[in-house]
Amino acid sequence: MSLELTFAILLGALAIAVLANWRERRPRDIGRPPLVPLVAVQAIAIVVAILMLAHLVSLLTGQPIKGRGLP
């Protein structure tokens, strides 16, 4: 994945997380549940943003991020 695509996905995920946070904080009518669980959308967007940040670091440094698993 290229640097530009990683950065674009990172910005998109952050924008979705901010939008979901804003929509979740708006007052809603009593008795009308939301159609989309915005807390879940926000959580998924934050996870994607964290993964893209890790990938961005590995692209900029040139070394893959090693896990803590077995050698």
Residue 70 counted as domain residue: no
Q: Domain containing 44: what range?
A: 3-28+35-61
- In the chain, the amino acid numbered 15 is A
> What is the tally of structural domains in the chain?
1
Stated pTM of the model: 0.82
Residue 17 counted as domain residue: yes
Per-residue pLDDT reduced to its tens digit, 13-47: 999 999 999 999 988 888 888 888 999 999 999 99
Residue 66 counted as domain residue: no
Residue 52 counted as domain residue: yes
Between 29 and 69, the more confident residue is 29
Measured CA to CA, the distance from residue 52 to residue 8 in angstroms comes to 9
Measured CA to CA, the distance from residue 11 to residue 16 in angstroms comes to 9
